[in-house]
């Protein structure tokens, strides 16, 4: 029986992802990490830019960081959830674990899978 404390790893190799984040440093870090894993990433610095990219491309996953204008992020999500086929969307909230200096210890303490075991 699989361990229910771990999240199954889904490969995004050669998949297309839209990353919408108004904070340039976080956006660039996330995009660089995904590109190093062979993920095709398009980035948007705001929700109108993200919506424009989304309308002209197909994405396997849309990542949204609702920092400065959560209302715009919600409107963006409502716009794309009406489309068929249904779009996979994830909201990025809180600090990402990979920017923490103590992420390995935090991961073990929380019984989360380590990145190198995925």
CATH of the domain at 80: 3.40.50.2300
Provide the number of structural domains found in the chain.
1
Q: Is residue 32 part of a domain?
A: yes
Residue 68 vs residue 15, higher pLDDT:
15
Q: Is residue 7 part of a domain?
A: no
How many other CB atoms are found less than 10 A from the CB of residue 115? 12
CA torsion 89-2-12-64 (nearest 10°) is 20
Which residues lie closer than 8 Å to 35 by C-beta, 6 or more apart? 41
pLDDT by residue (tens digit) across 32-51? 988 998 899 999 999 999 99
Q: Which residue range forms the structural domain that includes residue 32? A: 16-117
* Gyration radius (Cα) of the chain, Å: 15
Please tell me the predicted confidence (pLDDT) of residue 82.
83
Q: Is residue 2 part of a domain?
A: no
* Cα–Cα separations (whole angstroms), residue 64 to 5, 22, 52, 68, 112: 25, 10, 14, 12, 23
Residue 43 vs residue 107, higher pLDDT:
43
Please tell me the predicted confidence (pLDDT) of residue 114.
43
Q: Is residue 8 part of a domain?
A: no
Q: Is residue 85 part of a domain?
A: yes
Please tell me the predicted confidence (pLDDT) of residue 115.
46
């Amino acid at each position: 029986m699989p361990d229910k404390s771990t999240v199954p790893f889904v490969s995004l190799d050669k998949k297309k992802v839209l990353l919408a984040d108004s904070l340039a440093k976080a956006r660039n870090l996330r995009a660089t990490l995904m590109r190093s894993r062979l993920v095709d990433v398009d980035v948007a610095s705001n929700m109108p830019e993200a919506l424009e990219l989304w309308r002209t491309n197909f994405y396997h996953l849309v990542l949204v960081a609702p920092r400065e204008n959560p209302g715009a992020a919600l409107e963006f999500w409502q716009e794309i959830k009406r489309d068929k086929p249904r779009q996979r969307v994830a909201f990025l909230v809180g600090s990402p674990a990979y920017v923490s200096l103590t992420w390995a210890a935090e991961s073990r303490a929380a019984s989360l899978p380590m990145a190198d075991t995925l």
